[in-house]
Amino acid sequence: MSWAEIIRTGLEAVRSHRLRSGLTMLGILIGVAAVILTVWLGEGAQDKVRGQINALGSNLLIVAPGSTTTNGVRGGFGSASTLTRADADALTSHVVAPDIRAVAPTTSRSAALTAGSSSWTASVVGTMPGWLSVRARAIGTGRFISGEDVADHAAVTVLAATTAEELFGARDPVGQSVTVSGVPMTVIGTLTAAGSSASTNEDGQAIVPITTAADRITGGASRDSVQNIYLEATSGHTLSAAYREADYELLARHRITTPTAADFSITSQQSILSTATSVDRTLTVLLAGVAGISLLVGGIGVMNIMLVSVTERIREIGLRKALGASPRVIRRQFLVEASVLGLAGGLLGTALGLAGAAILPSLISDPISISPTATVGSIVIAVAIGVVFGVYPATRAARLAPIEALRSD
Amino acid sequence: MTPTDSTSTEPTPNDSTPNEAGAGASATVIELTDVRKTYRSGLFKVAALRGVGLSIEEGEYVAITGPSGSGKSTLMHILGCLDVPTSGLYRLAGEDVGGMSEDQLAEVRNRRIGFVFQQFNLLPSMTAWRNVELPLCYAGGPRAQRRQRAIDALADVGLADRVEHRPAELSDGQQQRVAVARALVTNPSLILTDGPTGNLDSASTADVLGLFRRLHDVGRTIVLITHEAEVAAAADRVLQVRDGVVTADSGPAAALRTVRT
Ligand SMILES: Nc1ncnc2c1ncn2[C@@H]1O[C@H](COP(=O)(O)OP(=O)(O)OP(=O)(O)O)[C@@H](O)[C@H]1O
Ligand SMILES: [Mg+2]
């Protein structure tokens, strides 16, 4: 008997027991839908984190202040800012750090902005012209802070998209005046939106020259200190060279001889990315494991139903054998039935997964990334489950003696 | 299809019955020599057949009869290659069946034997012609041709107008006729039937027996198992089985009496 014939017979058997076939498929269907949805959700979450971290800027290094050692007592991490504007200036030198393209020291605090009758609490970032490139942001209208603005301690500000919108609505803010923490400033430009993958507060910023921020907004005793220094390497390949240059220069400037005693830390965007995504990946594997178990349960369902089917169809099997079906043909017929159930369950499960992918994001506000690999993979697994769990029932069917089968009433 | 060596007279089933060629020249379809069958179930041993020897020629119409439990069905299973004897020799159309593998036995059942069961054993989800086609499916061959042969076989048993009916839409007698069509569609050497009329009323019984008579008239070899004397009387030769042995045989000569009109 040809394979085409066997497949036709198998399909016919599946079709003639609609309810039972449907219930069997249901097990596989739910398993497949669960597996692909978790994998898709996991991949979506990874994409999101990757997007957020990439939105920080490309080839980015972040220098953060570390613990200080005062009178031999080591303070807590971040207890005081050990980084200064002078440190940042030193890193702009192409002699000291040839692999660093741009440097942006930042200070940041939240402050109230008012323009006319509108007000908005923004994260006010004091920085230098390099920030725009380092953080991969773009000017919408007007211009960004210039070196002269920094030198002059100019009372100027650049508003991020949401800030501009909240204060000025649809009007063009450029040239308007706004008070920042009670200090009147002129708006010289606006930033475009940071993009959907960035965290939302990126668009709620107001950028001012770092000198102006130190004088009039942040205040405090150490007006030279900065919260972070953002560095942009010249390319992805020079990232580690840029890291070493910054590390070496800052250790020297801080007069620290043992690198382990450093009062600052440098993280790369790459390392943040890999920790963040590996955490996500672990979670995805775990969830997919749980979903996989439901797929396994579906497979056992297939086996159970196929065994029932063999018992119930003893007469049919006996008849087929009497009419000339060899054990091999009978085994194949039952295997085909099981894998048809698996395949149909897999396809329907994928359809359910797609439906879920269409509905879920609006319910849980998490992104879903429909990956073809996960989809094809779980259909293949569904068929494999049909085959694997069909082998035992099929073998039993094939082994039935024709008379035993025909005798049963 | 000639089941034996080519030295014997070429049978021409469409024009003349092979038995007209005379007993000496006709081929032996079934040859049993001291066949025994013992069932073992736990501690008990049941000797269902205790040394059966018989020989059936091509074109014969034989009834095997005997009381319940005498071993008729056991014999039929062995004749039909559905079961193997515990000891003894069985030659079907000249071939020793004893040494065959499962696959070879399946092929022998498919090509050499047509079964008609008491319970019809039609597949309820399939139409009449698909049921009749079933043995052809296992034999292989182009679909269109299989369908045509199935429809022709149904026409042979007088069911040309029931081709697309499912078993549930047919009377018992009609269902048994579909089963007969299925048994003869492969052109088997032997048609084996165990109690084909057991589930039928007298009209349908006469119907089915008429069918067997007609098949016999065109040269088919038929072995009919029954415990009803009237049914056995329809055959040309009657074998009596009792306690697992053949106790009476009206003899192959009976076959020679058959004259076609
Ligand atoms: N599978 C089996 N296991 C054990 N004993 C069996 C088996 N099949 C048949 N027998 C026994 O073998 C003997 C012959 O049985 P068989 O079915 O051949 O009788 P039968 O002549 O066909 O009877 P009936 O006319 O009632 O159909 C009986 O005694 C029966 O109990
Ligand atoms: Mg019986």
Q: What is the pLDDT of residue A185?
A: 93
Domain that holds residue B175: 59-83+102-256
Are A229 and A82 contacting, i.e. CB atoms less than 8 angstroms apart? no
Average model confidence (pLDDT) for chain A? 83
Mutate to test the interface with A, among B37, B126, B137, B190 (most CBs of A within 10 A): B137
Stretch B61-68: mean pLDDT, rounded?
A: 92
d(CA A132, CA A158): 11
Average pLDDT over residues B150-169: 93
Segment among A218-222, A234-238, B159-163 with least mean pLDDT: A218-222
Give residue B71 CA to ligand 1 midpoint distance, Å: 6
- pLDDT tens-digit readout, A67-93: 555 444 544 444 456 888 888 888 888
Q: What is the pLDDT of residues A130-150, one digit of tens each?
A: 898 888 888 989 999 999 999
The predicted pLDDT at position B26 comes to 61
pLDDT band at B17 (very low <50, low <70, confident <90, very high): very low
- ipTM value, please give it: 0.84
Q: pLDDT category, B22, cuts 50, 70, 90?
A: very low
More confident residue, A277 or B70: B70
Query: What total of structural domains would you count in chain B?
Result: 1
Burial of A233 (0-12, 13-18, 19+ CB in 10 A): buried
B126-139 average pLDDT score? 93
- Which ligand minimizes its atom distance to the CA of B77? 1
Out of B43, B52, B70, give the residue to mutate to test ligand 1, the one with the largest number of ligand atoms within 8 Å of its CB. B70
| pLDDT beyond 80 at A99 | yes
Residue B88 lies in a domain: no
CB atoms inside a 10 Å sphere around CB B19:
26
Roughly what angle, to the nearest 10 degrees, separates helices A3-16 and A18-55?
100
When mean pLDDT is compared across A156-160, A199-203, A249-253, the lowest value belongs to A199-203
Nearest CA to ligand 1 atom 28: B69
- The backbone region for B22, taken as left when phi is positive above 0, alpha when psi lies in -120 to 50, beta otherwise, is left
Whether residue B148 is contained in a domain is answered as yes
The answer to whether position B65 is within a domain reads yes
CA angle A110/A116/A117 to nearest 5° reads 80
CA gap A129, A149 in Å, rounded? 9
Q: Which residue minimizes the CA distance to atom 31 of ligand 1?
A: B69
State pLDDT tens for residues A160-207: 988 998 898 888 889 999 998 888 999 999 998 876 555 557 888 999
Among A12-21, B180-189, B209-218, name the one with the lowest average pLDDT. A12-21
B12 in reach of chain A (CB within 8 A) = no
Tell me the pLDDT tens digit for each residue of B189-206. Answer: 899 998 888 888 888 899
The pLDDT of residue A405: 65
SS (H, E, C) chain A: CCHHHHHHHHHHHHHHCHHHHHHHHHHHHHHHHHHHHHHHHHHHHHHHHHHHHHHCCCCEEEEEECCCEECCEECCCCCCCCCEHHHHHHHCCCCCCCCEEEEEEEEEEEEEEEECCEEEEEEEEEECCCHHHHCCCCEEEECCCCHHHHHHCCCEEEECHHHHHHHHCCCCCCCCEEEECCEEEEEEEEECCCCCCCCHHHHHEEEEEHHHHHHHHHCCCCCCECCEEEEEECCHHHHHHHHHHHHHHHHHHCCCCCHHHCCEEEEEHHHHHHHHHHHHHHHHHHHHHHHHHHHHHHHHHHHHHHHHHHHHCHHHHHHHHHCCCCHHHHHHHHHHHHHHHHHHHHHHHHHHHHHHHHHHHHHHCCCCCCCHHHHHHHHHHHHHHHHHHHHHHHHHHHHCCHHHHHHCC
Q: Which residues of B touch A16 (CB under 8 A)?
A: 125
CATH of the domain at B197: 3.40.50.300
Across A174-188, A285-299, B21-35, B176-190, least confident range: B21-35
Token readout for A233 is 């390497």
pLDDT in the model for residue B200: 86
Partner-chain contact A324 B115, CB within 8 Å: no
**For residue B75, which atom of ligand 1 is closest to its CA?**
18
Percent of chain A at pLDDT above 70?
A: 90
A71 touches chain B (CB under 8 A): no
Residue A336 distance to chain B (closest CA, Å): 16
Our CA-based measurement puts residue A405 at a distance from the nearest CA of chain B, in whole angstroms, of: 10
Mean pLDDT throughout B163-174?
A: 93
Chain A: nearest CA to B183, how far in angstroms?
Answer: 9
* The predicted structure's pLDDT at residue B108: 92
| Predicted local confidence at residue B254, as pLDDT | 46
pLDDT at A295 over 50: yes
- Here the tokens at position A270 are 């790459």
Task: Please give the pLDDT value at position B242.
Answer: 92
Could you tell me if residue B36 is inside a domain? Answer: no
Domain residue limits, chain A: 3-52+277-407, 83-262
Q: Which of B44, B65, B74, B243 to mutate to test the pocket of ligand 1 (most atoms within 8 A of CB)?
A: B74
How close A403 comes to chain B (CA, Å)?
6
Least distant ligand from the CA of B40: 1
Give the Cα-Cα-Cα angle B135, B138, B140 (nearest 5 degrees): 110
pLDDT exceeds cutoff 70 at A324: yes
Percentage of residues of chain A with pLDDT beyond 90: 17
Give A146-156 pLDDT, tens digit per residue: 999 999 999 99
pLDDT score for A66: 75
Q: What is the pLDDT of residue B132?
A: 95
Burial grade of A386 (CB within 10 A; 0-12, 13-18, 19 or more): buried
Question: Ligand 1: which of B37, B44, B49, B72 to mutate, judged by most atoms within 8 Å of the beta carbon?
Answer: B72
The answer on pLDDT for B130 being more than 80 is yes
Determine which of A190-204, A346-360, B65-79, B234-248 has the lowest per-residue pLDDT on average: A190-204
Residue of B nearest to A406 (CA): B121
Position B223 pLDDT exceeds 50: yes
One-letter amino acid at A204 equals: G
Name which of A1, A315, A316 is nearest B138 (Cβ-Cβ): A1
DSSP element (H, E) containing B138: helix B128-139
Residue B240 has pLDDT above 70, yes or no: yes
Residue with the bigger pLDDT between A79 and A95: it is: A95
